[in-house]
Every structure is written in structure tokens, then in C-alpha cells.
């Protein structure tokens, strides 16, 4: 009876079209995913049964989530629908380029969803958000230090831990701790002392990433720190001083370790290095992406897939070639919508913790998206960061869903008001 009543509210609420619109969006998304499944499966007979199982399980799980949270609990799941759509593209591209790794990506997507749900549930109680502040800060620094000591260099950066056949990038998980610690610290202690403490924590994280030569991730952390610091202090002078100090530090690093500068020597000169490592990836990305036109050459029919890291760092170019510029632009717009949702929800968040965390998570997504898209197209130096929700990689996928949790938690509709609160609001009216 309760489920029936909620369904009637969801689809038949007077003056509200959200239920109908969300159902139509889900149907459209399912049709798109079925078509994509057919295109991938028609080109791979060897892994047909395995891939079919993953695709069917993904679509079924997507509808189960929709029914439980949208129909039964009568909640808005617009952000989750965007994330499911982007994650499905990641699953299809992985199945097309590296079918043997589809299972790993499938597990990563739903591990990320589990992290998302767990974070939402934990942040229900605003009084305990600061309880894990110090342990999480120590764990973040410890995990990065452990990576620095025990990780091996992979493609110029020391940022991967290998446990048997499984590879983990700890810096992706530390992103969640980085935002949580900043939001929890500056939410409870509104003083320069709290900002100073977070500055030292941030310097530790960025410094360890610099020692790992993971400069793309270090830049993402630094940009996120600026967002959090400005939201809490509002002091432009402090931000300028921090940026100046960071610039001086970067110059010292490049001076003492000149070999690092060589990694960026081909920036804006990729066509002069189109046959060597300096510009091979980017020139092929630009050539093949342009050949895809507006609608693409079809998934599985591209040439960029044969270039190293096509489904990871170069994913924007691969999607542009095989699925078309239209799909590539829709992906970027979808990620921008997540950021806009964070900015809007932050105005009505229950506390400054949710405001800071949501804006920081959105900023991290936007900065990472910009580094990925503009890096492969040579507008910015190629830093080797992933495209949130879309690039193949378990650590990146889990982190993306975790960032979404911060954005979702800022939405006042995520946590229904308690009876006492509803009674007070009724009296006020």
C-alpha cells in the first residue's frame, strides 16, 4: 500500500511533471544503452556471453535503483541518472577496446555506487561530520607516504600500487579525504588557525604528489585547496600569497629537477613531435577526433583505440572519433551540470560543511575535466589525468561516485526533514 501511494505521488502529483520526465529519461537512456550494447556485441563474438551479462546486469541494476529511490522513496535522482549515463559510456568503451577488462570496470562502477550510498548515509548526521577529521587526515598523509615508498614508477609517475593482478591509485581515494578534511575542519573552526592547519595538510598532500611526479593530480589538489580556502576565508590576499608561494615552489622544482621540464617541452609544439613520444598521442587524438565528425564512425571502428591510453587519458578523443563530437560535448555538458547543481544546492545546504564539500567536489570535477580535455587537445600541457566517470580505471570511477556524494549531500531534498522540523515549518507558515 505504501509503495502504491508513493508511486501515485511520484507520477500523479498535481502540478509536478518530474515523475513523468524522469521516467521518459530512464526509458530514453535504456534505449540508448541497448543500442550501444548491440553495437559492441556485434563486433565481438569471442566475449559475447560475458559482455551481454555485464550489460544486462548494469541496465537491470540501474532500473532497480530508479524504482527504489525514485518511485518507492519518491526522491529526485537527477544527479544519479547523469552519473549512470556517463558510467555506462565508460563500460561500453571498455568493452569495445579492452573486453577482458570489462568485468573490472563493471565492479568498479558498482563499488563506486556503494561508496556513494555509504557516504550519503554517514553524512546524514551533521554532528558527526567532524568526528573523522583527524583520523582521515592522518590516513590520507599515510596513504600517500606509503605510495611514495612502495609504489613503482609507471609512465613517469610513482602513483600505482600493485596487489597481484589488481592495480590501485591511492591518490584518487585521498581526493575524497582531502575534501572531507577541509570541509569538516573549516566548518567547525571559523578562525585563521583552522585555515593554517588545513594549509599544512594541503602542503603535505601536494608535496607528496610532487615527489611522486604526479603533477596532474597535484594541480587538481591545489585548485581544490584554493576553492576551499576561499569559501572559508573570502580573503583574496591570502589566496594570492598561497599561489605565489606555490609558483615559487614549482620554479624551484623545475630548476632542481630539469628532467621534469622536458616532459612539457612539446607543449604547443606537438606537430613537431608527431612521430615521437612528445606529440604522438596528442596529434593522433586531434586527427582521429576530427575524422569522427558530428556523429562518429561507430563504436569499434576508430583508429585511436590502437594508441596507448586511448580509453583512459585520451578518452575524450576516442569518444569524439567513434561516437561523435555531439556525444563528447554532451559528456562535458553533463559534468558541467553536476557542478551547476552543486553551486545551486550549496545555497540551501544544512551547514557550511555541505556547502564547502559540494563546491570543492564540483571544482575538482571541473578542473580534472578541463585538464583532460584541454590536455589531449594541446590547449594545456598533457598531464595524464582521467575524465571523471568516463575514463577506464577503477580508482577513478570510485572517486567520481564519491565526489558525487558530496554534491548530493548538499541538496536539501537528500535528507528529509525530521518531524520536529516539519512541525516548526508548519507553525511558521
pLDDT at 426: 37
Q: Tens of pLDDT along 314-356?
A: 999 999 999 999 999 999 999 999 999 999 998 888 888 899 9
Q: Tens of pLDDT along 203-258?
A: 889 888 888 888 888 889 988 988 888 876 666 666 665 666 666 666 555 555 55
Euclidean distance between CA atoms 112 and 404, whole angstroms: 10
Euclidean distance between CA atoms 183 and 376, whole angstroms: 32
pLDDT at 167: 84
Euclidean distance between CA atoms 45 and 72, whole angstroms: 39
pLDDT at 6: 52
pLDDT at 245: 60
pLDDT at 239: 66
Among the ranges given (278-282, 373-377, 414-418, 424-428), the one the predictor scored with the smallest mean pLDDT = 424-428
pLDDT at 15: 41
Q: On the CB side of 397, how many CA atoms lie within 13 Å of its CA?
A: 27
pLDDT at 104: 94
pLDDT at 213: 81
Q: Tens of pLDDT along 348-381?
A: 888 888 999 999 999 999 999 999 999 888 888 8
pLDDT at 9: 45
pLDDT at 226: 85
User: How many percent of the chain have pLDDT more than 70?
Assistant: 82
pLDDT higher at 83 or 73: 83
pLDDT at 119: 94
Euclidean distance between CA atoms 142 and 10, whole angstroms: 46
pLDDT at 237: 63
Judge whether residue 111 has pLDDT over 70. Answer: yes
pLDDT at 22: 87
pLDDT at 379: 86
379-388: average pLDDT = 87
143-172: average pLDDT = 84
Please name the residue that has the C-alpha cell 556503494.
Answer: 114
pLDDT at 425: 38
386-410: average pLDDT = 95
Q: Which 3 state secondary structure label does DSSP give 133?
A: helix
Judge whether residue 90 has pLDDT over 90. Answer: yes
Instruction: Quote the strand ranges of 32-188, DSSP E.
Output: 152-154, 157-163, 166-168
pLDDT higher at 412 or 62: 62
User: Which is nearest to 370 in space by CA: 223, 209, 176, 156?
Assistant: 223
pLDDT at 194: 65
Check: CB of residue 239 under 8 Å from CB of residue 226.
yes
Judge whether residue 118 has pLDDT over 70. Answer: yes
pLDDT at 250: 64
152-165: average pLDDT = 78
pLDDT at 235: 62
Judge whether residue 91 has pLDDT over 80. Answer: yes
pLDDT at 328: 95
* H helix runs in 234-296, sequence order: 236-256, 258-262, 280-291
Residues 6 or more apart whose Cβ sits within 8 Å of residue 234: none
Euclidean distance between CA atoms 278 and 271, whole angstroms: 9
Q: Tens of pLDDT along 27-56?
A: 999 999 999 999 999 876 788 999 999 999
Q: Is the pTM of this model over 0.85?
A: yes
Q: What is the CA radius of gyration of the chain?
A: 22
- Confidence label for 10 from pLDDT (cuts 50, 70 and 90): very low
pLDDT higher at 211 or 304: 304
Amino acid at each position: 500500500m505504501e509503495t502504491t501511494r508513493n508511486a501515485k505521488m511520484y507520477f500523479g502529483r498535481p502540478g509536478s511533471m518530474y515523475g513523468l520526465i524522469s521516467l521518459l529519461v530512464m526509458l530514453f537512456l535504456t534505449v540508448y544503452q541497448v543500442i550501444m550494447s548491440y553495437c559492441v556485441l556485434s563486433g565481438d563474438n569471442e566475449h559475447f556471453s560475458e559482455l551481454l551479462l555485464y550489460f544486462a546486469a548494469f541496465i537491470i541494476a540501474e532500473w532497480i535503483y530508479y524504482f527504489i529511490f525514485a518511485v518507492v522513496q519518491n526522491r529526485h535522482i537527477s544527479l544519479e541518472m547523469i552519473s549512470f549515463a556517463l558510467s555506462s559510456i565508460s563500460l561500453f568503451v571498455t568493452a569495445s577496446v579492452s573486453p577482458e577488462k570489462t568485468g573490472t570496470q563493471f565492479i568498479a562502477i558498482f563499488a563506486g555506487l556503494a561508496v556513494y550510498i555509504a557516504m550519503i548515509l554517514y553524512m546524514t548526521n551533521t554532528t558527526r561530520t567532524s568526528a573523522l577529521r583527524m583520523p582521515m587526515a592522518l590516513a590520507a598523509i599515510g596513504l600517500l607516504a606509503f605510495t611514495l615508498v612502495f609504489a613503482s614508477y609507471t609512465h613517469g609517475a610513482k602513483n600505482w600500487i600493485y596487489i597481484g593482478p589488481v592495480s590501485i591509485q591511492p591518490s584518487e581515494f585521498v581526493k575524497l579525504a582531502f575534501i572531507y578534511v577541509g570541509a569538516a575542519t573549516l566548518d567547525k573552526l571559523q578562525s585563521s588557525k583552522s585555515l593554517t592547519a588545513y594549509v599544512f595538510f594541503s602542503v603535505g598532500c601536494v608535496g607528496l604528489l610532487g615527489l611522486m611526479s604526479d603533477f596532474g593530480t597535484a594541480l587538481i589538489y591545489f585548485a581544490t585547496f584554493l576553492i576551499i580556502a576561499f569559501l572559508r576565508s573570502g580573503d583574496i590576499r591570502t589566496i594570492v600569497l598561497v599561489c605565489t608561494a606555490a609558483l615559487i615552489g614549482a620554479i624551484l622544482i623545475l630548476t632542481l629537477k630539469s628532467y621534469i621540464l622536458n616532459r612539457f617541452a612539446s607543449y604547443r609544439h606537438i606537430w613537431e613531435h608527431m612521430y615521437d613520444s612528445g606529440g604522438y598521442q596528442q596529434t593522433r587524438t586531434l586527427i582521429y577526433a576530427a575524422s569522427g565528425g558530428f556523429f562518429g564512425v561507430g563504436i569499434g571502428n576508430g583508429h585511436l583505440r590502437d594508441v596507448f591510453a586511448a580509453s583512459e587519458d585520451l578518452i575524450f578523443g576516442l569518444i569524439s572519433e567513434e561516437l561523435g563530437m555531439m556525444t563528447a560535448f554532451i559528456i562535458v555538458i553533463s559534468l558541467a551540470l553536476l557542478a551547476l547543481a552543486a553551486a545551486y544546492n550549496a545555497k540551501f545546504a544544512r551547514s557550511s560543511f555541505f556547502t564547502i564539500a559540494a563546491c570543492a567536489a564540483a571544482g575538482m570535477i571541473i578542473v580534472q575535466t578541463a585538464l583532460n580535455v584541454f590536455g589531449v587537445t594541446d590547449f594545456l600541457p598533457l598531464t595524464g589525468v582521467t575524465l571523471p566517470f568516463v575514463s577506464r580505471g577503477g580508482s577513478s570511477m570510485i572517486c567520481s561516485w564519491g565526489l558525487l556524494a558530496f554534491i548530493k549531500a548538499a541538496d536539501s531534498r537528500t535528507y528529509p526533514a525530521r518531524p520536529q522540523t516539519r512541525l516548526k515549518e508548519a507553525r511558521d507558515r
